Amino acid sequence: MRLASATLCDSLLRHYATRCHGELSIFTLTLAFTTFHKDANVIMNSKLKMPLITIWQDRDIRFDINPRFLRLIAGERLVERIDGVEDTKGNCGDKGILRITNLRLTWHATAIPRINLSLGYNTISGVTTRITKSRLRGQTESLYILAHHANARFEFIFTCINPSQTKQFTTVISIHRAYETSKLYRELKMRGALVNDEEKLRILPDEQQCDRFDGVWNLGNDQGTLGTMILTNIRIVWFAATNTMYNVSIPYLQVQDCRIRHSRFGLVLVIETSAVVSLKEEVICFVY
Could you write out the three-class secondary structure of 48-116? EECCCCCCCCCCCEEECCCHHHHCCCCCCCEEEEEEEEEECCCCCCCEEEEEEECCEEEEEECCCCCCE
pTM of model > 0.75: no
In the chain, what are the domain boundaries?
1-21+206-287, 56-183
Q: Measuring CA to CA, how many Å separate 90 from each of 104, 123, 135, 138?
A: 18, 18, 12, 16
Q: What is the CATH number of domain 56-183?
A: 2.30.29.30
Q: What is the CATH number of domain 1-21+206-287?
A: 2.30.29.30
Query: How big, in percent rounded to 5, are the helix, strand and coil portions of the chain?
Result: 20, 45, 35
- What pLDDT does residue 146 have? 97
1-21+206-287 and 56-183 agree in CATH topology: yes
Instruction: Compute the distance between CA of residue 27 and CA of residue 94 in angstroms, rounded to an integer.
Output: 38
What is the chain's pLDDT, residue by residue, as a tens digit (288 residues)? 234 555 665 666 666 555 554 433 222 222 222 222 233 233 334 455 555 557 899 999 999 999 999 999 999 999 999 999 999 899 988 999 999 999 999 999 999 999 999 999 999 999 999 887 766 666 788 999 999 998 999 999 999 888 778 788 999 999 999 999 999 999 999 999 999 999 999 999 999 999 999 999 898 777 889 999 999 999 999 999 999 999 999 999 888 888 888 877 788 888 888 765 544 555 676 765
